[in-house]
Structure 1
Amino acid sequence: MDFTLNEEQTAYRKMLRDFVQREIKPVARDWEQSGRYPTEIIDKMKEMGLFGLLVPEEYGGADADFVSFALTFEEVARGWMGVAGTLGSHSIACWLIAKYGTEEQRSSLLPELATGARRSGIGLTEPQAGSDLQGITTRARREGDHYIVNGSKMWITNARYANPLPTLVKTDPTTSPAHKGMSVLLIDSSLPGFTVSRDIPKLGYKGTESCEIVLDNVKVPASCLLGGVEGRGLQQVLSALETGRINVAARALGVAQASYDAAYAYSKNRDAFGKPISNFQAIQMKLADMAVDVQAARLLTYWAASKLDRGERADLESSMAKLFASEVGLRASLDAMRIHGGYGYSTEFEVERYYRDAPLMAIGEGTSDILRTVIAKQLLNGSSVD
């Protein structure tokens, strides 16, 4: 068993760290606080090919291994988690199209998605349906060569830039069980009736948009049905969420690592009672716990990613990684704030941003409690962790 990165992955991580140190960290605090969209950072990520991570080489993408995929989100989130979010939903959409799309869909969409000339997201959550995807109410009624789509979606990252937006709909709402009547449509956001109705105000996860979209009699060509066959939508998106949980776990890991880095540096430089606070056992215990948690989360995340690289299912492993890493992100950000004392509550220091960003990872891509039930069901059905 080898728990080290290979030479190529190590070089890739260094490139990412240099990029984050040079282009993201110097502006993250000010841009996040002002609500400024990180256009320049996104343009740089396009140049680096990061929007094509999960696009096959034949369509112009990087066809990256999943450990490198995780590295990307860890390192970018270490600088600014919100920016990492612009890559996350886009990458899930690319994987969906590459895995399940027809050849026409792949050849027409993936080359531009790989360069970032097109961007994407994924439309799953609705105002009354989050964890229970079978409870969505967005309908797509077939009329000749088109579907007429009505409904709404919430928390859509890249909503204004997504072209297309893979959207989970019910093509047959009468079917039981419900998942047999669910499909994914690749909806062009420029179509009449597709409206970004509002930006959702957020505690954290700023820098990228999170929007509500309304679909009002949107006329979508039948050729935009993912894979060309109805009734497979839930299966398709649940499979894609394995990659989504890897990227969220890695983002949580990045926030946890950034929290530890900030706490460590502050403890060495902050004096109390005539000596650095790192000399006090209470601070040392917090730092030790943070370091152990971060490394354990990293190993779980890379373990799950490596299973995907071997072509194996990783729904159990990705759920474990996402659950643990997101909880580590919460703990590490809070402990970093405690080590900073009053300064941790100040917007002049980065740790308050980590504290605001961390909760999203325990909610998005499956809440921690939902993932606990997913993990338990798989264990009880015979899955093994040995």
Structure 2
Amino acid sequence: MIMSGMDAEVFDQFIEQLWRYVHERLIPAEKDVIAANAIPEDILDEMREMGLFGLTMPEEYGGAGMNTSQYVETIRVLSYALPAYRSITSINLGMVCTALKKSGTEAQKAEWLPRLAAGEIACFGLTEPGSGSDSAAMQTTAVKDGNGYRLNGSKRYITNAPFAKLGLIMARTSKEPLPKNAHVSAFLVDMEKAGVTVGKPDKKMGQEGSQIADIYLDDVHVDGDALLGGEEGQGFRTAMMSLDNGRLSVAAASAGYARRILDTAMRYAQDRKAFGEPINQFQLIQAMLADSEAEIYAAECMLKDATAKVDAGEPSLLPAASTKLFASEMCNRVANRCVQIHGGAGYLAEYEAERFYRDSRIYTIYEGTSQIMQLVIAKAMLRNFAAGGQA
């Protein structure tokens, strides 16, 4: 099914407005966000008013009804600013909303999508202390209890956990691993329920303002209608479908932030003088700038191609993984060059280059490490080749 999305003219106007908001409001507020390690409530309210929490929600649930191409372009523009601004919205949009739209019952959609579109914050509970990509090792359990379930276990490194009102929690509904990870189910958990505890926010290398924390589930009772889609064994499939959108969001964040990093490097190279002239006149500096521009352009093109395939209803696993792999690694290379262009100043916290370097590092890790992306890509290539003679 082709996803038409928002009217093109209206979308262009929205992007123009967002671009101004990013440059005139969000970037000037970055120092305050970093100092507090949280986005101020007045800015969150402005983001809610702009509809940034409901970009991909259907219009009937209070959202903007964007297709994937429009959503990813919005994330790319938003990600020119501090990564925290994307993080606070992206779990709602790229993962939880996707899971609800594709797998939720009509009652679940009616209850949660309007609340998420209005700006209630969600988190996505897959990773655990002993399992990340290895779902067979998941220890969180959901045991039948009357017409509901009791959840016990813990989740680790969960983005937005300290702020979340809703958690999409993966748990085992079967003790033994089953084919196609059918032992894992997904549950919509009100984060204020008795037995849900959120740990102290973790101290991170970068990405200040975005918070992650552990979630502890101690005999948490949920009704049967909390089971996503009303069917056991669909949780992992739901998570993987959601991760395709999540990975494209990370790729868009990488491309948007890399553009900010390159602009900063260009500005410094223009202003900094050595041997009587701006360092942007030195060919080896120019080489780093040129390589960065070429790689950012490649990532932007990959994003457009991958999201067009999603909107056309074509298989998205391979293009999403490929785009996430390239864009995240690219952003790290651009950040490294930015530090190098700054020289000794790039190692000092008073310059943005140092922060960019720390912020970018996570992009090659979350929503699937680069190594997991390589495995996903290779398996898809081999499967496609075996089926049709080409990768």
TM-score where L is the length of structure 1? 0.95
Are residue 70 (structure 1) and residue 79 (structure 2) matched?
Answer: no
Q: Work out which of the residue numbers 225, 249, 254 in structure 2 matches 1:252.
A: 254
Alignment partner, residue 373 of structure 1: 375
Within-5 A mapping of 1:172-191: 172-177=174-179, 179-191=181-193
Alignment partner, residue 363 of structure 1: 365
Shift of the alpha carbon at 1:164? Answer: 2.0
Shift of the alpha carbon at 1:176? Answer: 2.6
Letter of the 2:269 counterpart: S
Contact 1:29 1:350 in 2 (8 A): no
Q: Output the CA distance in 2 between the equivalents of 1:96 and 1:15.
A: 29
Are residue 335 (structure 1) and residue 337 (structure 2) matched?
Answer: yes
Contact 2:136 2:177 in 1 (8 A): no
Contact 2:162 2:201 in 1 (8 A): no
Q: Which runs of 5+ in 2 are unaligned?
A: 1-7
Q: Work out which of the residue numbers 37, 40, 43 in structure 1 matches 2:39.
A: 37
Alignment partner, residue 211 of structure 2: 209
**What SS is found at the alignment partner of 1:382?**
helix
Contact 2:39 2:85 in 1 (8 A): no
Alignment partner, residue 286 of structure 1: 288
Structure 1 window deviating more from structure 2 (375-384 vs 159-168): it is: 375-384
Q: Calculate the aligned-residue CA RMSD, in Å.
A: 1.7
Are residue 353 (structure 1) and residue 358 (structure 2) matched?
Answer: no
Q: Output the CA distance in 2 between the equivalents of 1:45 and 1:254.
A: 18
Q: Output the CA distance in 1 between the equivalents of 2:308 and 2:14.
A: 16
Letter of the 1:12 counterpart: F
Q: Output the CA distance in 2 between the equivalents of 1:60 and 1:261.
A: 36
Contact 1:139 1:169 in 2 (8 A): yes
Q: Work out which of the residue numbers 185, 194, 202 in structure 1 matches 2:196.
A: 194
Contact 2:39 2:84 in 1 (8 A): no
Letter of the 1:61 counterpart: G
Q: Work out which of the residue numbers 240, 243, 252 in structure 2 matches 1:241.
A: 243
Stretches of 4+ aligned residues off by more than 4 angstroms: 6-9, 383-386
Are residue 110 (structure 1) and residue 136 (structure 2) matched?
Answer: no
Shift of the alpha carbon at 1:11? Answer: 3.1
Shift of the alpha carbon at 1:134? Answer: 2.8
**1:31/1:164 Cα in 2 relative to 1: closer, same or farther (>3 Å)?**
closer
Shift of the alpha carbon at 1:95? Answer: 1.5
Alignment partner, residue 265 of structure 2: 263
Q: Output the CA distance in 2 between the equivalents of 1:272 and 1:7.
A: 47
Alignment partner, residue 29 of structure 2: 27
Contact 2:202 2:213 in 1 (8 A): yes
Shift of the alpha carbon at 1:29? Answer: 3.2
Contact 2:122 2:160 in 1 (8 A): yes
Letter of the 2:364 counterpart: A
**What SS is found at the alignment partner of 2:175?**
coil
Q: Output the CA distance in 2 between the equivalents of 1:34 and 1:191.
A: 27
Shift of the alpha carbon at 1:175? Answer: 4.4
Q: Output the CA distance in 1 between the equivalents of 2:364 and 2:210.
A: 18
Shift of the alpha carbon at 1:178? Answer: 6.9
Q: Output the CA distance in 2 between the equivalents of 1:188 and 1:368.
A: 32
Are residue 227 (structure 1) and residue 229 (structure 2) matched?
Answer: yes
Q: Which runs of 5+ in 1 are unaligned?
A: 1-5
Shift of the alpha carbon at 1:162? Answer: 2.2
Alignment partner, residue 4 of structure 2: none
Q: Per-residue CA shift, 1:294-317, capped at 9, x if unaligned?
A: 000111112111111112221100
Q: Output the CA distance in 2 between the equivalents of 1:31 and 1:224.
A: 34
Structure 1 window deviating more from structure 2 (173-182 vs 215-224): it is: 173-182
Q: Per-residue CA shift, 1:38-87, capped at 9, x if unaligned?
A: 43322211111111112111111111121221122212221111221111
Contact 1:186 1:225 in 2 (8 A): yes
Contact 2:162 2:212 in 1 (8 A): no
Q: Output the CA distance in 2 between the equivalents of 1:339 and 1:7.
A: 39
Shift of the alpha carbon at 1:30? Answer: 4.1
Count of paired positions: 381
Alignment partner, residue 3 of structure 1: none
Q: Output the CA distance in 1 between the equivalents of 2:136 and 2:53.
A: 30
Structure 1 window deviating more from structure 2 (35-44 vs 138-147): it is: 35-44
Letter of the 1:275 counterpart: E
Q: Output the CA distance in 2 between the equivalents of 1:189 and 1:120.
A: 9
Shift of the alpha carbon at 1:161? Answer: 2.9
Q: Output the CA distance in 1 between the equivalents of 2:10 and 2:137.
A: 44
**What SS is found at the alignment partner of 1:52?**
coil
Alignment partner, residue 314 of structure 1: 316
**What SS is found at the alignment partner of 2:384?**
coil
Q: Output the CA distance in 2 between the equivalents of 1:359 and 1:54.
A: 27
Contact 1:157 1:211 in 2 (8 A): yes
Q: Output the CA distance in 1 between the equivalents of 2:237 and 2:255.
A: 28
Q: Output the CA distance in 1 between the equivalents of 2:129 and 2:20.
A: 40
Contact 2:150 2:221 in 1 (8 A): yes
Structure 1 window deviating more from structure 2 (26-35 vs 107-116): it is: 26-35
Q: Work out which of the residue numbers 97, 100, 122 in structure 1 matches 2:100.
A: 97
Letter of the 1:100 counterpart: S
Q: Output the CA distance in 1 between the equivalents of 2:381 and 2:262.
A: 32
Alignment partner, residue 295 of structure 1: 297
Q: Output the CA distance in 2 between the equivalents of 1:36 and 1:247.
A: 21
Q: Output the CA distance in 2 between the equivalents of 1:95 and 1:58.
A: 15
Shift of the alpha carbon at 1:181? Answer: 1.4
